[in-house]
Amino acid sequence: MSKAKILITRKWPASVEAELMKHYDVQCNDSDVAMTVDELRAALGEYDAILPTVTDNMGAAVFDTDTIRTKAICNYGVGFSHIDIPAAQAAGITVTNTPDVLSECTADIAMTLMLMVARRAGEGEREVRAGAWSGWRPTHLIGKKASNKKVGIVGFGRIGQEFARRAHFGFNCEIFVQNRSQVAQDKLDQVNATQVPDLETLFQTCDVISLHCPGGDANRHLINADIMAHSKPGLILINTARGEVVDEVALAQTLHDGTIGGAGLDVFEGEPNIMSDTLNAPNIVMLPHLGSATDETRVEMGMRAMENLNAIMSGKAPRDPVT
């Protein structure tokens, strides 16, 4: 019996690729460049399963074809806003993701950004590299303590809860949560958190706000000029969720005019392209989408995607269905 044909759209950890090749006829995108809409559309007619990443734009146009062989799209990542789920469903394709395995590492990056912005570490590192540091002095690059702050979390899922644990138990921060649904009291109690009714309250209350909500059209520009206008003076905004959640034009303006005190971004709207206003904004730290970028997590993500693939190819229900 011939093996099912599988497409991996970007380079994956070698150990995961090797494991997939034991069981499937695997085609790897060795160029490691994001595939075009036309290429992805053609792949639907050629492969039994496609294993994409967040960089693959699988919008409605990809599914606009009469020739679809693909039965499974096993996404490498927890977010799936880059996939048109209704279009995939209409085409009879099962979509899965990889939750759980990247929660801790993404929360670590959010905490890294919080500390870097609060202590102006990005500015300091650039100054040292440029040879512009003139030595210690009492008023040089004065930042803010990270401890004992009021920390707001937008989206209290797995990653948001991991970030709350780090902020509460590691830095004695008071946790406030804004979530689209009521959070179970026992989950709030684990970090002594308070759920607030709306974003305006959260922005008025907190010294730091970290975004952990889903992306996609439902949350596009959820954080906009009107919301940021309600900010507590000196607010630090952290985004490790999805770039489109924040209106970057408004964010850059609020940083330039001092409406908020700083920002830490691991994701961007239209990444890898970043607006010049964002690049030039004061007290901003920017990372190249490193949330899950550890050896352990990237391998676990691949293995979780393969677990879902194996189930679907065996006619069983996958562990992590999106559709």
SS3 label, residue 299: helix
| Active-site annotation holds for 271 | yes
Going through the chain in order, the beta strands assigned E by DSSP cover 5-8, 25-28, 49-51, 72-74, 94-96, 150-154, 174-178, 194-195, 208-211, 236-239, 262-265, 284-286
Closest CA to 280 of 123, 144, 125, 127: 123
Q: Dihedral through CA 10, CA 16, CA 20, CA 26, nearest 10?
A: 20
Estimate the crossing angle of helix 103-118 against helix 121-129, to 10 degrees. 70
Cβ burial, residue 89 (10 Å; 0-12/13-18/19+)? middle
Kindly give, in sequence order, each residue whose CB lies less than 8 Å from that of residue 279, ignoring residues fewer than 6 positions away. 286
By the 10 Å C-beta count (0-12 exposed, 13-18 middle, 19+ buried), 85 is classed as middle
Which of 242, 244, 248, 269 is catalytic? The answer is 242
Give Cβ neighbours of residue 301 (< 8 Å, ≥ 6 apart).
76, 77, 98, 101, 102, 292
Contact yes or no for 5/25 (Cβ under 8 A): yes
The pair of structure tokens assigned to 322 is 């999106």
Catalytic residue among 19, 289, 307, 319: 289
Please confirm, yes or no, whether 242 is among the known catalytic residues. Answer: yes
State the first-to-last Cα distance of the chain, in angstroms, to the nearest integer. Answer: 29
Give residue 241's identity as a one-letter amino acid code. A
296 is catalytic: no
Q: Which DSSP category does 58 fall into? A: B
Question: Any idea which residues carry the catalytic annotation?
Answer: 242, 271, 289
